[in-house]
Amino acid sequence: MSLEKEKELKECIKEKEREKELYSKECVAECINFAVGTASAENTYLATHERFACYLATILARDKEVVAVRLKVLPNSCDIYLSKNFHWLDKDVKYINEIQNYLKDISKSAPTILKGTESAFTKAVMLYCSAKLESRLEKLKKDIEISNNSEYVNSFIDFFSTKVNDINDGENMYTISQICMEYYKKIKDKSNISSKFLGHIKKVGSYVGSMLGIIECARNIQYKPLFSIIRVFKRNPDIINNQSIYSWKNIIKRFIDENNYKCFMDRCSKKPKVMERWRKVYTNIGTQQQQLDGNDVKQCIYLHAEMNILALIIDDKIKSREFIAVSKRCCYLCELYIDFARRHGYNIIVSGNHKKIYSGWKLLNVKDNTFKIEALRYILENLDRILENKIKYYAKSLQADSDNGENNLDPKNSDSGYLGKYFNQYNEYVNKFTLVEKRVSRK
Ligand SMILES: [Zn+2]
């Protein structure tokens, strides 16, 4: 082997080693420092096509999945790049085609409104998103139960009851979404409301907000050229099921000695949330065995949806403004990577961050290897700082907040009445949901 080749090989091994280090440290960080800060929205002005991308991200995310959307507007057409954390299933592909065709038809006939097509579009979205909406409604319901007597919950229930009396079916999840959207618009700037409650109202409302926003765009004659030719590119997921990582103990002991390790473990064992995450992160899914020590710890790692889109932007060296719409705010490691890309001249905009560290976050494979290596170094430096602080000066409180963050959906059209009629047609297809027990309106 030539000296050159040998050097290359050594570099390659070193790089793989550093990646393994990253994946191992993510696991420890998720357990002991799940939330790095509080969630934040980036208050950037969004162009119409960027808002449209946000609506799409919301209606394309099924169950627990995260979807990222990038829209490229060309003079007479539109390219849509989609990615998600896991594999595209046949039913996803079918749904995307269906949505695409409805939008083309609605746009083609504009300004004439195609009620039948809009209604069919609504039905398709209702069915595809119902599991996710239901889980969001559960969270909102819990909020209402916990803070039952607070002023803001009472005010919401009053609003809800009045609206439900006006609408035929208050148990249709999408009718509830519609009411939440209207309520959110009314109260979003009031400061006395719990931000968690407000966030849940917004998430529930985002479904009707997105449908409304999408129909509005498709109906707009100004955008006809865009909808006439839509090309959709679905990015392949990047998943490694058996990434080997260093054990929990191996990583912790890089920061403290044996005596302090005992002390550290003692404290960890008194933190139920840490223990819960610890069990989750280090349990081998196949064997259900805990993998805390030893050399054969395995993790499933996968590329987050927004990173998959970012890889495309970096590979094509696109340095103009690029907005990536995501159905959920970015995690801390995605945020770090985007931060690194920005330092290298990329103008990447996302809708917000939730500051949480997830194990299983996979590093992007970009063509520019130097970029990849430097990004990895940047992320490791930041992660090391967090781990060092947390491990050495173990904080007293380790409470993590709930998962925050959704796109800010605020379609201009305030009249969403026509959607309600569509929802009522499909009552039988969607699970019923009782958000609040009916009470007499105090109107
Ligand atoms: Zn992420």
Note the pLDDT of residue 169. Answer: 63
Distance 356 CA to ligand 1 centre (A): 9
Residue 254 tokens read as 């890089």
Distance 179 CA to ligand 1 centre (A): 31
Note the pLDDT of residue 402. Answer: 32
Note the pLDDT of residue 409. Answer: 46
Distance 303 CA to ligand 1 centre (A): 8
DSSP 8-state secondary structure symbol assigned to residue 290 = B
Note the pLDDT of residue 396. Answer: 40
Distance 412 CA to ligand 1 centre (A): 30
Distance 283 CA to ligand 1 centre (A): 21
DSSP 8-state secondary structure symbol assigned to residue 303 = -
Distance 88 CA to ligand 1 centre (A): 18
The set of long-range contacts for 373-378, using a CB threshold of 8 Å and a minimum separation of 24, is 373/15, 373/18, 374/340, 375/337, 375/340, 375/341, 376/15, 376/18, 376/19, 376/22, 377/18, 378/336, 378/340
Note the pLDDT of residue 343. Answer: 97
Measured distance CA(61)–CA(388) in Å, rounded: 36
The helix (run of H) or strand (run of E) holding residue 72 is strand 67-74
Distance 252 CA to ligand 1 centre (A): 24
Distance 57 CA to ligand 1 centre (A): 15
pLDDT in tens, 187-196: 888 878 888 8
Cβ proximity of 284 and 291 under 8 Å: yes
Note the pLDDT of residue 441. Answer: 46
Note the pLDDT of residue 439. Answer: 56
Positions of the chain with pLDDT under 50 = 395-409, 441-443
The helix (run of H) or strand (run of E) holding residue 300 is strand 297-302
Ion ligand 1: residues, Cβ under 5 Å: 304, 331, 334
pLDDT in tens, 251-268: 999 998 888 888 888 888
Q: Which residue has the tokens 């793989």?
A: 16
Cβ proximity of 140 and 435 under 8 Å: yes
Q: In what order do the strands lie in the sheet with 322-326?
A: 230-234, 77-84, 67-74, 322-326, 348-350
Distance 392 CA to ligand 1 centre (A): 26
Note the pLDDT of residue 112. Answer: 95
Domain ranges of the chain: 13-40+248-396, 89-233
Distance 120 CA to ligand 1 centre (A): 33
Note the pLDDT of residue 192. Answer: 80
Measured distance CA(158)–CA(162) in Å, rounded: 6
